[in-house]
Amino acid sequence: MSKQVNLTIDNQAVTAAEGALIVDAAKKVGINIPVFCYHPKLEPAGMCRMCLVEIGRPVIDRATGAPVMEGGKPKLQFGPKLETSCTTPVSEGMVVITNSEKVKAARKDVVEFLLTSHPLDCPVCDKGGECPLQNLTLAHGPATSRFLFNEKNHNAKHVPLGDLIYLDRERCIQCGRCVRFQEKIAGDPVIGFYNRGRQMEIVTFSEPGFDSYFSGNTTDICPVGALTSADFRFGARPWEMKATASICTHCAVGCNLAFNVRREVGGKNGSPSKGGIVIKRALPRQNEAVNELWICDKGRFAYQYSESPTRLATPLVRKDGELTPASWDVALEYAAEGLLGESKPGQAKDLLVIGSGRLANEDLFTLRKLAEGAGGQAALYSQSGGGDLLAQVGAAPGTNLASLGKGSVILVVASDLHEEAPIWFLRVKQAAERGATLIVAAGRPTRLDRYAKYVIRYAYGEEAQIVAALGDSPRRAELVEAAKPAAAAKPAAAAKLVEAAKPAAAAKTVEAAKPAAAARLVEAAEAFGKAENALVFFGSDGLGQSGAQSVAQACAQLLAATRHVGRPNNGLIPVWGRANEQGGWELGLKAANLQTALQASTTAYIVAADPYGDDPSLPAPSFLVVQELFLTETARRADVVFPAQAFTERDGSFTSGERRVQRYYPATPALADCRPDYAISAELGQHLGLKLEGRSAAAIFAQIATEIPAYKGLTYRRLAETTNATAIGAAKDPRDAEERRCADLYYSGAGYENTQGLGVQLPLQTLSPALSKPAAAPAAQLSKTGLLAVPVTQLYDLGQTVLPSALLRQRIGEAWVGVNPADAAEAGIEAGAAPAAIVQVVLPGKPEWRAAARIDERTPRGVLLIPRSMGLPLNAPLPGASIRPVVRRDSQEAASQQPA
């Protein structure tokens, strides 16, 4: 524990960690010093001057170093001026006064200054009701204005900073929180100040404007109504809305959300509400171990899919070749008959049940029960693999990225975290900035490289070998040998593993760079081995199922070999593409090769997955039941379609990539006739002659807790527990949560304290001896004919859960393919043209596809980067690809979508 110092704040004795700021120390004992520019997650700036206090320090005798005494007490020296408590660290014997007349007068002065140029348009301001400026004005400000109203500085009021965020320049109080958040926390300085003095205003020059995945967070921390989201502005008043706790469904991080809802007619985004409850906005809910106070823009805006007017609202049954609406009874009956066929109940051997990580633990568990009961097989719909290893080597309970710093190593393999899991990107970046050693191993440059101590570049297909090399010293020695210029000719395979960090430089001095790269690998391996704590993230950059499986295996062995398992802040974190893919693995569903699995089955029940959309060439079963939110490609082929409830309409639990089980709650009533997935499956089971629990998510969770060892002892109540320890300001007001939220100035009015559950991380099983053996490096398996097409992830894609968000749709952009300039030149495609050249991408066995070529050095030679869910279904790396130029048909339109 760090050194503690003793001080006095308003006559209260306080003990605080050395280096803590006065404002935080005061908060801990329930003294709220008002702030505007300070935010506990940002570096102090001392700009707004709201937090001025009187500070006295003991006078120290220079000769003895001891405090000078006066009347039995240490003599204090107060400075001639008030000081900012947000920038001043506590020190031994300090006396702080936050409630004197002098301090109160200073606050009033500062508020009055801020209000001189503020428009005072609270009645029409989105922040009204949760606005720190409003609250602090009431608490500390002057009663009347002495400023001549018509001398106010006027500024533009509705300035779009891109399509997601709007700025009201008159309301801005120049606190710089937004600018500091983007620069320091997000590492994305796409907004800044322009001009100076009273003319100072926020601007963006990025293309598109405010081009950051984290932009929405600035609307939460803006202490006035200057920054608002396009989603919520003019949407509702804070006091009209209720808040429901939820969990984001877009990636494996499991960010804690709060949905604000209100009863209204019509709803936004064309949602079909007829006077029902609709969601007005999604806000982060504080969970210091998961997302702190942040969420990414996908999590903030993409929930809109749940309110999409294209949602399925009634069951559909195929009649005369057409899908036609039917009652639940008819649909269930028809589905059960179709699935059973000639077999007796319990013997539907050829039934394949598929569920995805979009589903809750309760749904997946029910699906497995159904498949087992019916005699069929249950599969997890996933393009990734290796999830079964996590029960042994996953992140140990107590793991918290926020506690990683010096002495820790984080290895990120095969993941562009910024695209795959933005909040992990943000937290890994911060850990690196706190001193954790970051190793990034990827087939191409990613945004995380900037923060890495070691960047290791491999050729796609050789991911697992690189990971193995990090853990296996004899093999490393061999690598170094191989990379020495003299020996380079012989074991070429090994030398090839290690590429220069900067591909641009590669052409110049590939040979010269190899020893450096090999040395880097050796150093990285040593750092990893020696680290006190080590976390490994593995993602899906350029990987398919089997590739992911081998990477996961290699990572598991690396962790086991270096004894980085079973302790907090150690272990493997999978960057799954869906929120609850981990839950699927934990509950015994495995990713299957659908080509063979579907071949082997005659009937299928597919839930929350679109395999035919992702790969139209999959074999078709003779009878297909689909359970979905939308009429997907797969649903179109079904014999029966069940309309499911969205996650916003029901409760359930997810298990995150860090194996944290977290609950979410219903925010809105269900759409029309939709039912929760678990309930539909249970009923279908009953029609198949099975007895399945389906009354409530809680009841199923209780069953999970008795049957699945990892979940043993867990209850919904435990998942809903919170502790004060994680809240930034631990001092709690006994008033109700909503009140407290507004009173808590640290939140700046938006964002929610966590009152509905921090979740519980699953315990680990003991390590099997097989994993402790040194890794046998798997051979590289990818053939080298033609170009190698590899799937990569882009945060905003054309997926069903993104497209319905009108806001994000604008940011998706056109389909693209990443090409190396040399490969482009060989294919006769001109680099640097604007708009980008359109190319025809030809992949063996795949439909032809056109995309804009992104020609730059970031794509390795011989590789085509194919974004997932952008039109070309590619689930695994595929050799033999080629490209050829196409004349742009509508260059006008393409140009308008192209960044300048």
By CB under 6 A, residue 38 contacts ligand FES: yes
Q: Is residue 285 involved in binding ligand SF4 (CB under 6 A)?
A: no
145 Cβ partners below 8 Å, 6+ apart?
Answer: 112, 115, 116
Which of helix, strand or coil describes residue 98? Answer: coil
Q: Which of 101, 151, 320, 342 binds other proteins (CB under 8 A)?
A: 151
Q: Of 295, 279, 267, which is closest to residue 649 (Cα–Cα)?
A: 279
Q: Which of other proteins, ligand SF4, ligand FES, none binds 112 (CB below 5-8 Å, type-dependent)?
A: other proteins
Query: Which residue lies nearest ligand FES, judged by its C-beta?
Result: 86
DSSP 228-291: EETTTTTS--GGG-EEEEEE--SSTT--EEEEEEEEEEE-STT--EEEEEEEEEEEEB-BTTTT
- The CA distance from 300 to 281, in Å, is 7
3-state secondary structure of 529: helix
Binding region for ligand SF4 (CB under 6 A) out of 117-125, 216-224, 425-433, 440-448: 216-224
Shortest distance in whole angstroms from residue 83 CB to ligand FES: 10
When the beta carbons of 47 and 391 are compared against ligand FES, the nearer one is 47
Q: Which stretch binds other proteins (CB under 8 A): 203-211, 249-257, 391-399, 776-784?
A: 203-211
Which of ligand FES, other proteins, ligand SF4, none is residue 38 near (CB under 5 to 8 Å by kind)? ligand FES
Using the contact rule CB under 8 A, the part of the chain among 144-152, 470-478, 675-683, 781-789 near other proteins is 144-152
227 scored as a contact of ligand SF4 (CB under 6 A): yes
- What residue type is assigned to position 233 of the chain? R
Spatial separation of the C-alpha atoms in residues 718 and 710, rounded to whole Å: 15
Preceding omega of 821 cis (within 30 degrees of 0): no
22 counts as binding ligand FES under rule CB under 6 A:
no
| Residue 48 vs 829, nearer CB to ligand FES | 48
> Closest distance between ligand SF4 and the C-beta of residue 216, in Å?
13
Q: What are phi and psi of 694, to 5 degrees?
A: -150, 15
Separation CA 397–CA 711 (nearest Å): 13
The reply to whether 161 sits near ligand SF4 by the rule CB under 6 A is: no
Identity of the residue, 173 or 795, whose beta carbon is nearer to ligand FES in the bound complex? 173
Is residue 78 close enough to count as binding other proteins by CB under 8 A? no
CB atoms within 10 A of CB 197: 6
Nearer to ligand FES, 39 or 868 (CB): 39
Task: Report if residue 40 touches ligand FES, rule: CB under 6 A.
Answer: no
Distance CA 862, CA 783 (A): 12
Residue with Cβ nearer ligand FES (48 or 556): 48
From the list 86, 114, 173, 470, which residue makes contact with ligand FES (rule: CB under 6 A)?
86
Of 44-52, 231-239, 378-386, 582-590, which segment contacts other proteins by CB under 8 A? 44-52
Count, residues near ligand SF4 per rule CB under 6 A: 13
Cα angle: 25, vertex 30, 33; to 5 degrees: 65
Each residue 172-191 as x (binds ligand SF4 by CB under 6 A) or -, in order, gives xxxxxxx-------------
Residue 623 CB, nearest distance to other proteins (Å)? Answer: 55
Q: Which does 205 bind (CB under 5 to 8 A by kind): other proteins, ligand FES, ligand SF4, none?
A: other proteins
> Is 90 near ligand SF4 (CB under 6 A)?
no
Q: Determine, following the binding rule CB under 8 A, whether residue 502 of this chain makes contact with other proteins.
A: no
Up-side HSE of residue 366: CA atoms within 13 Å toward CB? Answer: 31
**Does residue 202 belong to the site contacting ligand SF4 (CB under 6 A)?**
yes
Q: How many CB atoms lie under 10 A from the CB of residue 18?
A: 12
- Asked if 340 is part of the footprint of other proteins (rule: CB under 8 A), the reply reads no
**How far is residue 419's CA from residue 425's CA, in Å, rounded to a whole number?**
8
Binding of residue 751 to ligand SF4 (CB under 6 A): no
Which of 28, 49, 152, 636 is close enough to bind ligand FES by CB under 6 A? 49
Distance CA 578, CA 842 (A): 28
**Token representation of residue 178:** 């937004």
Binding of residue 234 to other proteins (CB under 8 A): no
Count Cβ atoms within 10 A of the Cβ of residue 774 and give its class: 0-12 exposed, 13-18 middle, 19 or more buried: middle
List 816's β-bridge partners, or say none. 852
Rounded CA-CA distance 550/554 in Å is 6
For 339, the token pair is 């699935």
Binding partner of residue 325 among ligand FES, other proteins, ligand SF4, none, CB cut-off 5 to 8 Å per kind: none
Using the rule CB under 6 A, give the single segment among 43-51, 524-532, 811-819, 875-883 that binds ligand FES: 43-51
Q: Name which of 164 and 354 has its Cβ closer to other proteins.
A: 164
Contact partner, 196, from ligand SF4, other proteins, ligand FES, none, Cβ < 5-8 Å per class? other proteins
Binding segment (CB under 8 A) for other proteins, from list 102-110, 493-501, 838-846, 865-873 = 102-110
User: Which of 9, 74, 84, 247 contacts ligand FES by CB under 6 A?
Assistant: 84
Rounded to whole angstroms, the Cα distance separating 41 from 180 reads 10
**Min dist. Cβ of residue 23 to ligand FES (A):** 7
CB closer to ligand SF4, 174 vs 557: 174
Binding flag, residue 51, ligand FES (CB under 6 A): yes
CB within 8 Å of 865: residues ≥ 6 apart: 444, 790, 792, 817, 818, 819, 854, 859
Smallest distance from ligand SF4 to CB 18, Å: 30
First-to-final CA distance of the chain: 52
86 binds ligand SF4 (CB under 6 A): no
Is position 708 an interface residue for other proteins (rule: CB under 8 A)? no
Q: What is the DSSP letter of 78?
A: E
The position carrying tokens 């790396």 is 877
Q: Which is nearer to ligand FES, 54 or 211 (CB)?
A: 54
User: By CB neighbour count within 10 A (0-12 exposed, 13-18 middle, 19+ buried), where does 203 fall?
Assistant: middle
Q: Nearest Cα to 679, choosing from 362, 375, 371?
A: 362
**Can residue 757 be called a binding residue for ligand SF4 (CB under 6 A)?**
no
Residue 227 touches which of other proteins, ligand FES, ligand SF4, none (Cβ within 5-8 Å per kind): ligand SF4
* Under 8 Å between Cβ of 354 and 368: no
DSSP for 650-674, written as a single string: S-EEEE-TT-EEEEE---SPPPTT-
Tell me how long the chain is. 900
The distance of closest approach from Cβ of residue 201 to other proteins in the complex, given in angstroms and rounded to an integer, is 9
Q: Minimum distance between the CB of residue 42 and other proteins, rounded to whole angstroms? A: 13
Per rule CB under 6 A, is residue 42 in the interface with ligand SF4? no
Choose, by CB under 8 A, the member of 52, 178, 340, 644 that binds other proteins: 52
Query: Which residues, in sequence order, are bridge partners of residue 58?
Result: 76
| Residue 109 site contact among other proteins, ligand SF4, ligand FES, none (CB < 5 to 8 Å, cut-off depends on kind) | other proteins
The distance of closest approach from Cβ of residue 151 to other proteins in the complex, given in angstroms and rounded to an integer, is: 5
Provide the 3-class DSSP secondary structure of residue 745: helix
794-819: b or e for each residue (b if 16 or more CB lie within 10 Å)? bbbbbbbbbbbbbbbbebbbbbbbbb
Q: Contacts with other proteins: how many residues (CB under 8 A)?
A: 45
Footprint of other proteins (CB under 8 A): 44-50, 52, 80-82, 87, 106, 109-110, 112-114, 116-117, 146-148, 151, 153, 173-174, 176, 188-200, 203-206
Query: Which residue ranges make up the site for ligand SF4 (CB under 6 A)?
Result: 172-178, 202, 222-224, 226-227
Residues at the site binding ligand FES, with contacts judged by CB under 6 A: 35-38, 46-51, 84, 86
